[in-house]
Structure 1
Amino acid sequence: MSPDGMWSIGELAGQAGVTVKTVRFYSDRGLLPEASRSSGGHRRYGPDALERLRLIRSLRTLDLPVPEVGRVLEHGEGLADTLQDAIDVQLRELGSQLTALRWREAALQLIRDCPAEERADRLRLVGRVSTPPSTAPMARFWRGALPVRLSSRLVSSILEYAVPLPPADPTPAQVLTFARLYAIATAPCPATDPRRSAGNRIDDVRRPDVLYDGLFDAYTLAAAGLKTNRAPERGQALDCFVAAHAESRGLQDSTEFRRRLNGLLSRAADPMVDRYWELTGELTGSPEPTLGAAHEWMRASLKTDVTAAAG
């Protein structure tokens, strides 16, 4: 340090072990203020410049962007909190990048290891999915399927079940399953649109919240039978299922209503929607039955009941 307690830009660079160009870069961006200028117009730095330069270098080592470094440096007393916020942002971004890399790796393995004759089709299928994968298309798919007047509470609950979160560290098989789900949700063909399903949206439903609250209760009751592979049957779950449909229309449960409802649900059956729920179960690997599986069990129970009543 010079007798006046100041460093030249070269001296500061030498003390910090960086290049003059680096010091000038941070100075020009306001991160490293100069204390004064020499008579010849050269930059001069005070004794605190070395510690500040070291701090800047440490922050940049964490890959914080230059503007974020500046924001941290501006908060002298609140440095710890500001630094924690900046690090949290970086960790979230890094997590997203790592997820994208894991998905890309699994996708490459999937395409590499599949039979040669399937490679082109799988490449097209997987290539449509962003990395990291987005669930927005599936959410739009189901939002469009639900009644407009359905409460936001129930919409959120249904989406929680219907839109599976992609694994952060997927296997190649999970990448393929997610890509197939994505393809169903984004297919332009009306045959894959769940809005065709009268089981989900029937024109004469007056109170959609009553219907879906009741369906959730019925599916919960049916879960025990599904887990034990019990055959569809009459009972409390079916009564709850039919009551939800009847009450939402301002009608009463009756043999005739069950016959009519069975016809509506049978005509509304959609193999592509069934496939969506099957893939959802494969992707999550959860022992809990999907809403789609529960709906099919209830529909089969209703058919059994109607057939028995007709006999």
Structure 2
Amino acid sequence: MPPDGTLSIGELAEQAKTTVKTVRFYSDQGLLPEALRSTGGHRRYGPEAPARLRMIRAMRSLGVPVPEIGRFLDRGDSLEAVVARQLDRLGDELAALRWREAAMRALQEGAPEQLAERLELIGAIGAPPNTSALAHYWRRLLPAGLSARLRNSVTERAVPQPPTDPTPDQVFAFARLHALTTSATDHCLASHRPATVAHPDLLYDGLHEAFQLADAAQQTDRPFSLSEALDCYVAAHARAFDTRDSPAFRRALAIHLAAADHPALSRYWQLAGELTPGLTLGGADLWLREALTASSTAG
């Protein structure tokens, strides 16, 4: 070692128990700065270089990307921050692998004559998939006069999140849901959009409360809770139509809602139910409509 304490590229490689090629690569990437160049133009590295190179190699062995290592070494990022970001990245990669495995099993489990159709459906979604197409569907479906607050709230509740560890059936359900929402034309949406009401915010605020009560009623299995949810459900519709709750209104509402039911939305909620633990919005609405019909008939 010369008096200035610097190391040649070969000496650094030997001390770090690696190859000259590796030292040159990290040097070219800017992770291993040179202290100076010799009179012959050869690279020289400072005495801190072996420890720095060992740190680089340790982080690379764990899959930390070169830019992340650079942020840690030269830009003041803490090691804890680097580890946290790497764990997030690994979580995303594992989620993608779980979806790909389940997707392959969904293809494997189908009948041979279904393979091409399933491949086209499943191939149209990512791994893991995002829900932007489903959210776009709901933003187009909801009434134009609905406030942004309620539009976002309904959309968030109506769009099922992809399971982190899906079964093959769930992958196929999400693929079908994606196909249903992306194929919905404006004409198709108009045919199963909820009826226009004078006060959409009053309706959807009331429905939100009714669905929460219905969810609680199902979990506790208390008939009184269902009755309370039904009263709230009917009151929301009555306010939206500028009328009041009455036996006659309930009978008319039951007929109106049954006529407005659309196969595409029923299919949406069926598929969403395969992805969502608990009661979906569509499931709550169906439960309350059935309770309304039963109470109207009994009355």
Asked if Structure 1 and Structure 2 have the same fold, meaning a TM-score greater than 0.5 normalized by the shorter chain, the answer is yes
Structure-2 separation of matches of 1:46 and 1:307: 89
Q: Deviation digits for residues 186-216 of structure 1, max 9, x if unmatched?
A: 12356863x5445xx332332x222112112
Matches within 5 A, 1:240-279: 240-279=232-271
- How far off its partner does 1:256 sit? 4.8
Tell me the C-alpha RMSD between the 2 structures. Answer: 2.8
Specify the SS of the correspondent of 1:250. Answer: coil
How many residue pairs match? The answer is 297
Instruction: Tell me the TM-score normalised to structure 2 length.
Output: 0.86
Q: Matched residues, percent identical?
A: 52
Instruction: Verify the 8 A CA contact 2:143 2:196 in the aligned structure 1.
Output: no
Instruction: Verify the 8 A CA contact 1:126 1:179 in the aligned structure 2.
Output: yes
Structure-1 separation of matches of 2:247 and 2:132: 41
Structure-2 separation of matches of 1:163 and 1:192: 19
Structure-2 separation of matches of 1:85 and 1:155: 36
Correspondent of 1:96 among 92, 98, 103: 92
Q: Residue 4 and residue 204 in structure 1: after superposition, are their counterparts in 2 closer, same or farther (change >3 A)?
A: closer
Structure-2 separation of matches of 1:45 and 1:221: 70
Aligned residue for 1:48?
48
Give 2:263's aligned amino acid. Answer: P
Q: Deviation digits for residues 116-158 of structure 1, max 9, x if unmatched?
A: 2322222222121111111111111112222334344433432
Instruction: Verify the 8 A CA contact 1:215 1:244 in the aligned structure 2.
Output: yes
Specify the SS of the correspondent of 1:132. Answer: coil
Structure-1 separation of matches of 2:214 and 2:256: 21
Correspondent of 1:300 among 287, 290, 298: 290
Specify the SS of the correspondent of 1:283. Answer: coil
- How far off its partner does 1:226 sit? 5.1
Instruction: Verify the 8 A CA contact 1:103 1:169 in the aligned structure 2.
Output: yes
Instruction: Tell me the TM-score normalised to structure 1 length.
Output: 0.83
Instruction: Verify the 8 A CA contact 1:164 1:280 in the aligned structure 2.
Output: yes
| Alignment gaps of 5+ in structure 2 | none
The reply to whether residue 134 of structure 1 matches residue 126 of structure 2 is: no
Instruction: Verify the 8 A CA contact 2:150 2:204 in the aligned structure 1.
Output: yes
The reply to whether residue 19 of structure 1 matches residue 19 of structure 2 is: yes
| Alignment gaps of 5+ in structure 1 | none
Specify the SS of the correspondent of 2:274. Answer: helix
